[in-house]
Amino acid sequence: MTEPLLRVENLQTHFASELGTIKAVDGVSFDIPRGGILGMVGESGSGKSVTGLSILRLLGSRNATIAGGRIMFRGEDLLTKSEAEMRAIRGGSISMVFQNAMTSLDPFFRVGEQLVEVLRLHQGLSKKEAREKALNALELVRIPDPVAKLKSYPHQLSGGQRQRVVVALALACEPDLLIADEPTTALDATVQKQIIELLQEINQELGTAILMVTHDMGVVAHMCRTVAVMYAGRIVEHGDVADVLRTPQHPYTRGLMASVPRLRTEAVGEGHVRQRLYQIGGSAPLPLRLTDGCAFAPRCPEVGPECWEVDPPTVASGAGQEAVCHRRAEEKAALTEVVQHVGA
Amino acid sequence: MTTTTLGHKAVSPVAAGDTVAAHIKSRSRPALMWRALRRDKAAVVSIGILVFLTLVAVFAPLLAPYDPLDGDASQRLEGIGTPGHLLGLDGQGRDILSRLIYGGRYSLTVAVLPVLAAAPIALLIGMFAGYFGGRSGNAVMRVLDVLFAFPVVLLAIAIAAVLGPGLSNVMLAIGITMVPYMARVVYTATVQESAKEYVEAARAAGATQAQILRQQLMPNVLSPLVVYGTSLCGLMIVLAAGLSFLGVGVTPPAPDWGVMTSDGRSVLLEGYGHVATIPGLVILVAALAFNLIGDGIRDALDPHKQTS
Amino acid sequence: MAGYLARRAGSMILVLLGVSVLVFLIMQLVPGDPVRTMLGPTATAESIAAVRADLGLDQPLVQQYVSYLGGLLQGDLNTSLTMAQPVAEIVFPKLGNTIILAAGALVICLVIGVPLGVLAATRQYSLFDRGAMFLSLAGASVPVYWAALVVISVFALKLGWLPTSGMYDVREPGGLGDLLRHLVLPAATAAVVPTAVIARLTRSVMVEALQQDHIRMLRANGVPERQIVWKHALRNALPPIVNIVGLQVGYLLGGVIFIEVVFSWPGLGGQLYTSITSNDMPIIQAGVLFIALVFVVVNLIADIVVALLDPRTREAVG
């Protein structure tokens, strides 16, 4: 197997707080191959956004530190890069799109000026060349009337158009990897779908790999090839989307799947569609991790005594699907025993 | 949760949050503000300075080594550190320290009292215009606009000049000058607060206009007014002394700090800088103290800063 | 844009009318008889009555105001009570000198205050930030008249670098160099308080501007921090800064009274001080009126600049 485009190994991102060190990302590892799409799902506070920001080292606030791990991008560790080298990478070979489409553009500059600024910065183009490339970028995101849009201010565009411009800004320099942090949450449902489809098309046309950070299982099912489920700063399950969605292993993933609303066509009673939505009890914890044990234990329907005290092991099931859970480990051990027994 | 593994690490964040919330609920707003303010070292030092200046002014007759009005011409203009006269003597041979001690009686009163007196008037005007709005509220704000066309210092000087010098006239001039500015702060806060849901909820629950104004709006409008008023006291110390400096405020030979600075001006060119410099420095310190307290109260009231 | 201009100009005229009414009324409240002041203690009752009739002071108040306003609009500001000269001839040249002083101070405010605030905002909670903000709070608390005296005693008397006074007429043969030499100390002193206020406000709006989403987007696109701060964040923070600068002009126009008195600057403020001492009401009236006029016009300009700066309002007000 060739080297992946991005390999994150045992990433640790910590925040200093009054309550102690918050391990927002606590030993996260994953790969994204060239042209791949990885979905990263979890509740707010699970550390999925912080993971995305850590890759570009954009944590900003003074009390956030990347305390350990490696972020190998095209074979080089981003954590050893200087700030100037990182600036060349940001927007150049790795781009990021954030969730607030309405406010992600500078209201005081024209769309064209903002595109030209980034293009000239990374590719050292002349003004004329940059303008041409800016136009290409707008065409790429299929914005209607791109020539006129170059001269527009952000407030003159609709929410969907603004998000398309943001995507154009991120893709202008043809990056290898796009980190999309909930890029559709602030948008209408129909616009959401368009943006998701746009990202998919771009992935196919340009081969841009995408790290899709989202809380929406639907988005993952729609566009991702692999998925990682985060809970309290750790990946609790990962694998191919088809496997994880069909046979979720971790109780948290099962809960997430059960809480995705879906329309059934079967008629209930007098043609009403009726289904009770599953809800995971309790709320996401602050990842302070004061004790060992599984962080999901307080909310887990399958919790046992060892879950409170011992870190759960990683259990593989099927092709590349892995979950971190005592219950699954037990079941697998029991199964192996049966198999051995039968075999003996 | 089993207790054996927890030990001293057992402070769950949820439980800690609950106790903090309970703690906050059990306290009144001023008490809370005071708690936050106490952590602001600059504000605490400033309060200390102002309390000190006030006490010194109150007990001036006990503390002042000399008569503030009686000079000894033979020792005139002797500098800082003259035996018996710590801060030296002025152009008429009066002890500068004694004049400073008595001066607080004028300079502090002239600045703080008008602000205190203007506050209820401003509250009335601002809340009326802000809450009822409409034509009458608008008319009130247009009248205030006319007053805002005059720079503060100029308006105060003009009013003081018209009223003539004297302690009560300066205070009147400063009070009149301040009302529109304080009213605007109240007006803005009232307009903002009136639009919030809790006012809507009170109205829906059948509260009368008077109840809404007094019980819902007043406490929330008061906070910005207190912050503004405190900083204003600092500005007014400077301005009031300035009026005295120009001769339209407290009249000499009263040892107001502004009068003292003015006295020092005539001997400054002769090379006796201390006569003007010392009282000016005291004005600066008092004004800065009020400003630091104002800043501290603002931060203490700011929910975003409460924990930091 | 034209509609917006017309509306703003209309409300400005209303404010100025109010200002003229107020100035007129305030002067009516002055204790003592201006005519008696003018003619001195030896005047007879008949001569006083004659002058009163001559000046129209025996007419009803409203009529007096109307003729006062009529005179104003024709540039007639009455005659000085003490200098036997039309007020306009005294006031206008002095107003010019005051504007020179205030403009000089304003340049200092902008050159120091805005960068200081920006730098403090980019280093929020650092030692530099804390130091700069404490200094500017202290600066905002400085009594100008005291600062003027300190400046004179240090720079002019002890060091002898620059003149403390002697600016008699800007159009004197000394020329621009001489004017600037005389301008440095008074303008720098007048600038202390507004510089401090502008620095504090710039810091707070810059802190806010730097937290906006599009700043994060720029960082994610690898735009250098310096460009983010000085091009994007400052551009976003500019409208409120322009507003506060407009308001600080008001402070300057009031504060220069002290500066002009202490540095003997031949401006309107110094003239006001002299006229207050001699109770020369027509000059006080005109002086206050014109300072208010300049202030109102400056703020109108500031409002228009703010509207033009923002592409959203530029379109909306058009």
Q: Per-residue pLDDT tens for B45-78? A: 999 999 999 999 999 999 988 888 887 778 777 7
**Residue A230, phi then psi, degrees to nearest 5:** -105, 140
Radius of gyration of chain A (CA): 22
Partners of A315 in beta bridges: A323
Mean pLDDT, residues C69-73 taken together: 87
Are A308 and B2 in contact (CB < 8 Å)? yes
Question: Is the pLDDT confidence value at C77 over 90?
Answer: no
Test A288 with B6 for CB contact under 8 angstroms. Answer: no
B281-292 pLDDT, tens digit each: 999 999 999 999
pLDDT band at B205 (very low <50, low <70, confident <90, very high): confident
CB contact under 8 Å between B149 and C296, yes or no, is: yes
Q: Kindly report the number of other CB atoms within 10 A of residue C308's CB atom.
A: 15
Q: Do B242 and C30 touch (CB under 8 A)?
A: no
Max Cα-Cα span within chain C: 86
Across all residues in chain B, what is the average pLDDT? 84
Is a pLDDT exceeding 50 seen at residue B128? yes
Tell if the CB–CB gap between B13 and A19 is shorter than 8 Å: yes
Least confident of A48-52, A334-338, B119-123: A334-338
Closest-CA distance of chain B to residue C242, Å? 17
C42 has a pLDDT exceeding 80: no
Is C19–B150 a contact, with Cβ atoms under 8 angstroms apart?
A: yes
With beta carbons less than 8 A apart as the criterion, state whether A260 and A218 touch: yes
The residue ranking higher by pLDDT, C217 or A63, is C217
Q: Å from A272 to nearest chain C CA?
A: 43
- How much of chain C, in percent, has pLDDT values that exceed 90? 53
pLDDT at residue A262, as a whole number: 60
Handedness of CA A168, A174, A175, A177 (dihedral sign): positive
Residues of chain A in contact with residue C236, where contact means CB-CB under 8 angstroms, are 106-108
Residue C65 predicted with pLDDT over 80:
yes
pLDDT at position B28 is 67
Q: Do A109 and C232 touch (CB under 8 A)?
A: yes
pLDDT digits (tens, 9 = 90+) for B129-168: 998 877 888 888 889 999 999 999 999 998 888 888 889 9
Q: Which residues of B touch A19 (CB under 8 A)?
A: 11, 13, 16
Report residue C7's pLDDT band, with 50, 70 and 90 as the boundaries.
confident
Q: Is residue B8 very low, low, confident or very high in pLDDT (cuts 50, 70, 90)? A: very low
C104-157 pLDDT, tens digit each: 999 999 999 999 999 999 998 899 999 999 999 999 999 999 999 999 888 877
**Contacts of B274 by beta carbon, 8 Å cutoff, 6+ apart:** B79, B80, B87, B88, B96, B264
Q: Is A257 in contact with A248 (CB distance < 8 Å)?
A: yes
Taking an 8 Å Cβ-Cβ cutoff, which residues of chain A contact chain C?
56, 58, 60, 86-92, 95-96, 98, 100, 103-109, 117-118, 121-122, 153, 155-156, 166, 169-170
Across the interface, whether the CB atoms of C143 and B159 are under 8 A apart is answered: no
Tell the residue number behind the tokens 């892995």, with chain if given: A322
Closest CA in chain B for residue C299: B149
Distances (CA, A) of A274 to A265, A266, A268, A279: 10, 9, 6, 16
State mean pLDDT over B162-184.
92
| Closest in A285, A298, A309 to B5, CB measured | A309
> Cβ separation of A291 and B9 shorter than 8 Å?
yes
Q: Do C140 and B264 touch (CB under 8 A)?
A: no
Check CB contact of B13 with chain A, cutoff 8 Å.
yes
Token pair 């234990």: residue = A297
- Which structure tokens are listed for C18? 């109010």
Mutation target among A106, A118, A177 for the C interface, most CBs of C within 10 A:
A106
- The model's pTM is 0.88
Contact C308/B at CB under 8 A: no
How confident is the model over A152-165, as a mean pLDDT?
93
Chain segment A270-286, per-residue pLDDT in tens = 445 455 667 777 776 66
List A23's β-bridge partners, or say none: A14
What is the pLDDT confidence band of residue A145, given thresholds at 50, 70 and 90?
very high
Query: Could A169 and C236 be called an inter-chain contact, meaning their C-beta atoms sit closer than 8 Å?
Result: no
Cα A45 to the chain's mean position, in Å?
Answer: 13
Cβ-defined contact of A286 to B13 (cutoff 8 Å): yes
Cβ-defined contact of B13 to A288 (cutoff 8 Å): yes
CB contact under 8 A, B2 and A291: no
CA distances, B215 to each of A3, A143, B199, B218, C203 (Å): 68, 53, 10, 6, 35
Kindly list the residues from chain C whose CB atom is less than 8 angstroms away from the CB atom of residue A60. Answer: 216, 219
Mean pLDDT calculated for residue range C245-249: 93
pLDDT digits (tens, 9 = 90+) for A178-192: 999 988 877 888 888
Average pLDDT rounded to a whole number, residues C224-242: 95
Cα–Cα dist A35/A318, whole Å: 23
Please write the tens of the pLDDT for every residue from A24-39.
Answer: 999 999 999 999 999 9
3-state secondary structure of A74: coil
- Tell me, what's the pLDDT at A322? 92
Residues of chain A found within 8 Å of residue B6, distances taken between Cβ atoms: 290-291
Among the partner-chain residues A103, A156, A169, the one whose CB lies closest to the CB of C221 is A169
Q: Locate the chain C residue with the closest alpha carbon to A105.
A: C214
Chain B residue nearest residue A284, CA to CA? B14
* A342 vs C18: CA distance, rounded Å: 102
Within 8 A of C163 by CB-CB distance, chain B residues are: none
Mean per-residue pLDDT, C82-96: 86
Contact A121 C232 (CB under 8 A): no
- C residues 245-284 near B, CB within 8 Å? 250-251, 253-255, 257-258, 261-262, 272-273, 276-277, 284
The end-to-end CA distance of chain C, in Å, is 3
Q: Is the pLDDT of residue A155 over 90?
A: yes
- ipTM score of complex: 0.88
Least CB–CB distance from C221: residue in A91, A153, A155: A91
Rounded to the nearest 10°, the torsion over CA B20, B22, B25, B28 is -70
8 Å CB contact of A290 and B2: no
- In this prediction, residue B215 carries a pLDDT of 83
- Distance from the B248 Cα atom to the nearest Cα atom in chain C, whole angstroms: 9
The B residues from 81 to 110 touching A (CB cutoff 8 Å) are: none
pLDDT of B231-276, one tens digit each?
A: 999 999 999 999 999 999 899 889 999 999 999 988 887 778 888 8
In chain C, residues with a C-beta closer than 8 Å to the C-beta of B159 are: 26
pLDDT, tens digit (0-9, with 9 covering 90-100), for C20-33: 999 888 777 776 66
- Listed in sequence order, the residues at least 6 apart from C256 whose beta carbon sits closer than 8 Å to its beta carbon are C98, C101, C102, C105, C186, C190, C265, C267, C269
- Chain C residues whose CB is inside 8 A of the A90 CB are 219-222
Q: At B33, is the secondary structure helix, strand, or coil?
A: helix
The predicted-structure confidence for A218-264, as pLDDT tens digits, reads as follows 889 989 999 999 998 999 999 999 999 989 999 999 988 887 766 54
Q: Has residue A161 got a pLDDT over 60?
A: yes
Interval C171-203: pLDDT, tens = 555 667 777 888 889 999 999 999 999 999 999
- Does the pLDDT value for residue B3 go beyond 60? no
Average confidence score pLDDT of chain A: 88
Q: What is the pLDDT of residue B16?
A: 39
Touching subunits of A (3+ CB pairs, under 8 Å) are B, C
